[in-house]
Structure 1
């Protein structure tokens, strides 16, 4: 009888663990990007008024001390999950390897306890980041530093099918040739930055893109790490297209991280695109059968 009880207990435990794993692997993340923290109170109010807990990606500006972001990070910490972009890709080539390492140490040292996910490299396969070996030295250091501190890591790639300047920088080719096996197995998030305006208005087959990335990064959560447009008349169309995407790839979590959130959605009471974004997220939640307790939030990202 005791053996029967033990067997039943183990069966229930296995079913429970498997159910939790499936639930966690399918959780969705809805993100926005803020490229500056001036007027932080209005930003916090806009983010906190979304129905679902958001993930806010802060772009840490070039040559700015980490102390410039302490107030903003502390205020955002109470209302959202925080992703910290260590340095925008546009400025990576302006930093020596030593300077990038020092910046990593400074930012993770001061803000690490409040930043939930560290974006250790942004659009890393872009031609404009400079010498490949220098880029790899920078992102490898930041990755290893974050791992040593037990921080979550994200790597953002740049999708550039048929719009690269150098074929060696095509996203999949660059990743396969340069990303270490350690990163391929252990990055927490692998995200894709994409701007249709910069790539012949191509609308990729995202299902194929993320299925392919899942083969390379089998243990990583996958999603869109940046999107947006400066074309005012197409912003609503873009928001709806990206935030309502229905991707079935294992470990696909969404993200999206609209680059122009500060400009387009703050203050939330006077910017119509705040409502467009809000209802796109609600539609996505309904479409994917994700209820409030299945969204990524602090502690389970």
Structure 2
């Protein structure tokens, strides 16, 4: 709000004009964003990592037989306001989760810059965002030097969103063993205990080929970790925040084929019933396939994802990986997905 000018003479007319000016300034401001929608569960998630071919992406969202939750990744090379049109159009077709800063770009920003970017995103996109991902894979060495630096940025984003009364989400890396990371602080549960905030949703990011040898967690393994996270974050709802097939840009020696992508999708989306049974009512699904644009919009994965997504919540719709590992491609060097 603009500051009123101070006049030397205290005539009544001057004060009336000042009062009218104040009212005018107040009423001309944009009305507050409407309250966020209550998310419907299970979350049937996809991750839109690119706004290229947005029309085609929107067509696939509209063709989904069940409502999607679309996770929009914001690139630091773009300002939040540049996402307005896309997020508004996605909001018309799906629930929306916005990732404030991807883990690989977190080191580019200071804590103050993370807070400022979150404020800008909330201002420019808040009308259409149902939940804000305030931390993505923070327990990865690519996200920063350690919990102190990383958690300060997570807390900064969280506080901006929470003070606005909006839901927050935190996505941690799932690591099955020390073979998956270089530093002790990257361990999933060890890092979780260093987080100083209490987000509304806590998710796991799971990549088999991010470990060497590859990790092949069962539903029972994942449920165990989610249940443990539930004790650290007692008010959070729990789920899977990211799965996918890593490619050469992630450090693999070759790109995965469609069969591998289908196998991974079928495994993790297919765990839904078992995870729901083992974790309990706090489990909300999620999954949020990474590279949706590359793999589903431009690739051939959409029919598989569409079938799996439509089956979530149907007790007989999909196979469970509870009793066996899913299997994956040959081991690449450890890398982020």
Distance, in Å, in 2 between the alignment partners of 1:130 and 1:261 is: 26
Is 1:79 matched with 2:93? yes
Structure 2 unaligned spans of 5+: 1-37, 248-255, 318-337
Task: Say if 1:29 and 1:55, in contact at 8 Å, map to a contact too.
Answer: yes
Deviation at residue 173 of structure 1 after TM alignment: 0.6
Q: Can you list the C-alpha shifts for 1:222-269, whole angstroms capped at 9, x where unaligned?
A: 1111110132131111111111112121211110000021112116xx
Task: Say if 2:242 and 2:288, in contact at 8 Å, map to a contact too.
Answer: yes
Deviation at residue 75 of structure 1 after TM alignment: 0.7
Task: Say if 2:158 and 2:168, in contact at 8 Å, map to a contact too.
Answer: yes
Q: Pick one of 149, 152, 174 that aligns with 2:167.
A: 152
Distance, in Å, in 1 between the alignment partners of 2:133 and 2:316 is: 26
Deviation at residue 68 of structure 1 after TM alignment: 1.3
Task: Say if 1:153 and 1:189, in contact at 8 Å, map to a contact too.
Answer: yes
Q: Which moved more, 1:48-57 or 1:247-256?
A: 247-256
RMSD: 1.9
Query: How many residues align structurally?
Result: 258
Q: Pick one of 142, 162, 179 that aligns with 2:195.
A: 179
Structure with the bigger percentage of helix: 1
Is 1:197 matched with 2:178? no
Q: Pick one of 280, 285, 288 that aligns with 1:257.
A: 288
Is 1:166 matched with 2:179? no
Q: Pick one of 266, 270, 273 that aligns with 2:297.
A: 266
- Of the two structures, which has the highest relative contact order with CA contacts closer than 8 Å and spacing of 6 or more? 1
Deviation at residue 134 of structure 1 after TM alignment: 2.3
Paired residue for 1:61?
75
Return the TM-score normalized by structure 2.
0.73
Q: Pick one of 103, 111, 122 that aligns with 1:97.
A: 111
Paired residue for 2:148?
133
Structure 1 unaligned spans of 5+: 1-23, 290-301
- 3-state DSSP class of the match of 1:142? helix
Task: Say if 1:84 and 1:118, in contact at 8 Å, map to a contact too.
Answer: yes
- 3-state DSSP class of the match of 1:105? helix
Paired residue for 1:36?
50
Q: 1:68 to 1:194 in 2, by over 3 A?
A: same
Task: Say if 1:158 and 1:193, in contact at 8 Å, map to a contact too.
Answer: yes
Distance, in Å, in 2 between the alignment partners of 1:66 and 1:261 is: 21
Distance, in Å, in 2 between the alignment partners of 1:38 and 1:27 is: 28
Q: 1:202 to 1:111 in 2, by over 3 A?
A: same
Deviation at residue 272 of structure 1 after TM alignment: 3.7
Runs of 4+ in 1 over 4 A off after TM superposition: none
Task: Say if 1:244 and 1:281, in contact at 8 Å, map to a contact too.
Answer: no
Q: 1:252 to 1:26 in 2, by over 3 A?
A: farther
Q: 1:122 to 1:90 in 2, by over 3 A?
A: same
Distance, in Å, in 2 between the alignment partners of 1:98 and 1:149 is: 17
Deviation at residue 283 of structure 1 after TM alignment: 3.1
- 3-state DSSP class of the match of 2:138? coil
Is 1:219 matched with 2:205? no
Which structure's CA Rg is the greater one?
2
Deviation at residue 83 of structure 1 after TM alignment: 0.3
- 3-state DSSP class of the match of 1:287? coil
- 3-state DSSP class of the match of 1:157? strand
